Structure 1
């Protein structure tokens, strides 16, 4: 390239003088303005197509609002301003993280707890007068003809009462197999508190039932309620108990009422 052609040659040709123009960099720079113009025209064409489409398509969906003639006699009452109701803060009772289901719960056993008094009427039985022997006609000493000896005529009095009818006390009270300590262990191993208890909270339940002549537990009755869930939990565990040793009167098995108090407390 001589001095005469330099003035007529572009900067790109001077830069790539005596270099490989077929590699690609020269062509890219040479046609850069052409490609930029094509890109701008293409972008403008897309924008123009989108605008035209919006005009024609949007016109079909336009909601025409009918015009209402103005009437000066019409009074328009504005709706009352919206007043936001005050927010009343609600205080939630804090649940102590230390309170949880106590397993096992504290259990108190008292075989004679809340034992009601019972008056049993004495039926009129021959030979008994207010609990003392009464005179029975024919019971006097009588001389038997031909013997010369005397004898007492004894009228036997058969004990009354139904041993299957429950009583509130017996000569030998019924007991759990193994005694009170074994019953305590059974209750502690099987009782579960139905819910978490707050710190210091106590739930007391007293269940009265019958230990029949076979040692089975029946006739469950809530004496002191701690709530339906707690009552049902104590009754559920009592029903799981094995047979008890039945109570006895005069050496015979009898049905006896029995009360078991249970107290659920939170662990301190």
Structure 2
């Protein structure tokens, strides 16, 4: 084959020079520009034809519509007659003022200071005499009446004892709780300072918590000290002793009144290592 390429050869001729041109690719490449040009012309013609058809249809339908003219007649209204002024009747006169009834009053006299010698006590009014009256005073006999005796009563009656005063109520929760002087922290320091570890508990290596219940009286004193939970080995007695030795508390108050209140205090016994 000759390797010489003519000057009039196209790109397709160069590419498909040594290839089979009957396969179909060569034909597609050679006819592609003509197909594109034909498609553009045909699409443009269809688009312009659609625009012309729409314009023609619009002009055709516009010519068939009938135009109707509407004339509006303006009516002239007569001017309204002038309104007559309505004269209102004069307002009624105000009612006469009502007279306020006078209330009997007594003039207040300022107190006058006098010496005791110048003050005269008013004499008391005479006592009203009730009962039988006579011209002379006669001393009569007075009748003694004995109380009736119950026939069903047997033996001597026992004297009735007056009712005992009710014991003051003990509160567990009040509006203002009773407090140790200085607060809970000061109470804890007091217990730590005055509590002594029993020797029996030390020898037996026993520890724990003793729950002590007591009542703060209305004057702040401590009473009714009891042990709720025991540890033993002298810890209970030591806890009761310390609670009884505390100074007076500030009593609790309910409705502004000092009342008796009940407390439960745990006391811990721990051996230091």
* TM-score interval, normalised by the smaller of the two chains: 0.3 to 0.5
Q: Which has the higher contact order (CA 8 A, sep 6+)?
A: 1
Query: TM-score, normalized by length of structure 2?
Result: 0.37
